[in-house]
Amino acid sequence: MENETEILEQPEVFSSDYYIGQVFPGTYSPSAADWCMDHNAFIEEIEPVTEDDIITRRFEIKALIISEPTPEQQRENRAIAYERYVDQITAHIERLKDEEQTEEIVSKINELKRERSQKVQEIKNKYPKG
């Protein structure tokens, strides 16, 4: 087997080999993308470079900036969540109140009230007042 060409695998690139601001000429490895996923970052194509009439694409690792919502956004998000989840449960309760109040209906109303209280608490936790 002396005429066979040995194919060498590329060495694994460890996460310490990547950093915010790093620029890759031409292309970047899948492990760089994996690193970004694990470190709140992303890869963006930036201005290519031209040398001897050869254009080389470039990619840069950038930090993903996650900003806290403003108090106004929190109020908006809370209102949307109430409309989407709580109002539907309240409407269901009101419809059931129009029914003959059998034991089954009363039980269902109480179950829905508990569900509504739980949803309200979840919304308050997820979208606290500023």
Predicted confidence (pLDDT) per residue in 46-87, tens digit:
999 999 999 999 999 999 888 888 889 888 999 999 999 999
Q: Are residues 55 and 86 in the same domain?
A: no
Q: Is residue 115 part of a domain?
A: yes
Q: Are residues 97 and 81 in the same domain?
A: yes
> According to the model, what pLDDT value does residue 21 have?
94
Q: How confident is the model at residue 130 (pLDDT cuts 50, 70, 90)?
A: low
Q: Are residues 43 and 79 in the same domain?
A: no
Q: Is residue 1 part of a domain?
A: no
Q: Which domain does 37 fall in, by range?
A: 15-63
Q: Helix (H, G, I), strand (E, B), or coil: what is residue 57?
A: strand
Q: Is residue 8 part of a domain?
A: no
Q: Is residue 2 part of a domain?
A: no
Q: Are residues 53 and 21 in the same domain?
A: yes
Specify whether the CB–CB gap between 19 and 36 falls below 8 A.
no
Which of the residue ranges 13-22, 25-34, 35-44, 71-80 would you say has the lowest mean pLDDT?
Answer: 13-22
Q: Is residue 84 part of a domain?
A: yes
Q: Is residue 93 part of a domain?
A: yes
Q: Is residue 35 part of a domain?
A: yes
Mean pLDDT of 99-109: 94
C-alpha dist (Å) from residue 1 to 8, 9, 34, 48: 16, 19, 38, 44
Ramachandran region, residue 89 (left: φ > 0; alpha: ψ -120 to 50; beta: rest): alpha
Q: Are residues 37 and 82 in the same domain?
A: no
Domain total in the chain: 2
Specify whether the CB–CB gap between 128 and 78 falls below 8 A.
no
The two structure tokens encoding residue 85: 């989840």
Q: Is residue 51 part of a domain?
A: yes
pTM, 2 dp: 0.49
